[in-house]
């Protein structure tokens, strides 16, 4: 059973470009969570999604950031017009409906903004 998959593992963007980060949850998991880890800090919650629904986006910056989890395909975290402060590791986690307190993490995507 494959774990949570994230791609790309490393992404380099220039200021003003768009970044798209993908997350495929574990098989049988219908809940996805995105977290951001700034250098030398712990992970901070961004958004929680179920298929086709955003359940909680209280941790998302108000501008430039969006997330989706379509009926088919991976969850996408999209960052428009990236700035240097967006440089961070972005982690995706997934869980089953019945066991939300068991979140399994992907390997993360390290975004570097030049």
Partner 1 sequence: AQTVTQSQPEMSVQEAETVTLSCTYDTSESNYYLFWYKQPPSRQMILVIRQEAYKQQNATENRFSVNFQKAAKSFSLKISDSQLGDTAMYFCAFQSGSARQLTFGSGTQLTVLP
Give me the residues that bind partner 1 (CB under 8 A), please.
31, 33, 35, 41-45, 48, 55-56, 58-59, 89, 91, 93, 95, 100-105, 107-108, 110
| Torsion angles phi and psi, residue 87, rounded to 5 | -60, 120
Nearer to partner 1, 64 or 110 (CB): 110
> Residue 76 to residues 34, 40, 63, 92, 99: CA-CA distances in angstroms?
10, 25, 16, 10, 23
Nearer to partner 1, 24 or 103 (CB): 103
Instruction: Decide: 109 and 8 in contact? Cβ < 8 Å.
Output: yes
Nearer to partner 1, 1 or 58 (CB): 58
Across the chain, how many H-helices and E-strands are there?
0, 11
Give the nearest distance from C-beta 81 to partner 1 in angstroms. 26
Give the nearest distance from C-beta 41 to partner 1 in angstroms. 6
């Amino acid at each position: 059973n494959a774990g949570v998959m994230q791609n790309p593992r490393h992404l380099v963007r220039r200021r003003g470009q768009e970044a798209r980060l993908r997350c495929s949850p574990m098989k049988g998991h219908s809940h996805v969570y995105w977290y951001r880890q700034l250098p030398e800090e712990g992970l901070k919650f961004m958004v929680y999604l179920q298929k086709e629904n955003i359940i909680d986006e209280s941790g998302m910056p108000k501008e430039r950031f969006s997330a989706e989890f379509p009926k088919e395909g991976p969850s996408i975290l999209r960052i428009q017009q990236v700035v240097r402060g967006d440089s961070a590791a972005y982690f995706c986690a997934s869980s089953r409906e019945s066991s939300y307190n068991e979140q399994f993490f992907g390997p993360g995507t390290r975004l570097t903004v030049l």
